[in-house]
Amino acid sequence: MKPCVSTAHSMFKKLAESALIDYQILDPKIEFDLDATGKKIQYYNVSSQYLDNFIARFGNYRQHFYSSYVSVDSSVPPHTDIVDRVNINFYIETGGYQTTFYQSRDHDSKWTYADHGDGHVYNMDSLEQIGSFVAQPGDVYVLNGKIIHGVSSAMAQPRKFLQVSANDLDYDQVLDILDSLC
Ligand SMILES: [Fe+2]
C-alpha cells in the first residue's frame, strides 16, 4: 500500500490506492444536524487494524492523526470544517455525491456555527466553484477542510466513510508527510 499522490491541488488529492477496509463501529463521538427534518452527520469512534497501520506509517507524526467512522444522511451545504484541518476519507458508500470546493466572492456572506469555533457555513450565491470530485467506493481522498466545500447528490442516499483526520497540521504538511512515504 503506497499512499502516493497523483495530481496536485490545493483543495483535495486522490491517493493512489483503493482500499476495502475491515472496521468495527464503536461509540458515537459527535453529531450535527443538517436540516430541520432530523438529517444528521454523525461521527463514531472506530476500531480498524487497517487504519491503525495507515496511521502508524506516519512515524513521529502519528500522534497528530485520529480515526472516525462518519455517516451522513443528506447533502451538506458549503462550509469550512469546525475542527479538522485535514481529512483523509476512505469511502465505503458514496451515494453518488459530488464534493465541490469553492472560493468566496464575498467574504462577509458567511455565518458561524454556534459555539463551534472556526467553522463557517456559506451562502451559495456568494461562491465560485474551483474543483470537484465524485468518489467511488474504495477511493481514498485527502481533503483540505479549510477550503470551502459542500457535498450534494440528487439521490439523497446515505454516505459512509472512514476518516483519518488531523486538526493541528495543515493540508500541505499532510501532503508532504504522505509524499515522504512514497
Ligand atoms: Fe467538511
Q: What is the CATH number of the domain that holds 75?
A: 2.60.120.10
Residue-wise pLDDT for 139-165, tens only, equals 999 999 988 899 998 887 889 999 999
> What pLDDT does 114 receive?
44
Residue-wise pLDDT for 65-108, tens only, equals 999 999 998 888 888 887 778 999 999 999 889 999 998 887 65
The residue range of the domain holding 61 is 5-180
What region, left, alpha or beta, does residue 97 occupy, with left being phi > 0 and alpha being psi -120 to 50 degrees?
beta
Query: How remote is the CA of residue 76 from the centroid of ligand 1, in Å?
Result: 8
Counting the structural domains of the chain, the total is: 1
Q: Decide if pLDDT at 115 tops 50.
A: no
Query: How remote is the CA of residue 81 from the centroid of ligand 1, in Å?
Result: 5
What percent of the chain is modeled with pLDDT above 70? 87
With CA atoms as reference, report the closest residue to 25 among 58, 1, 51: 51
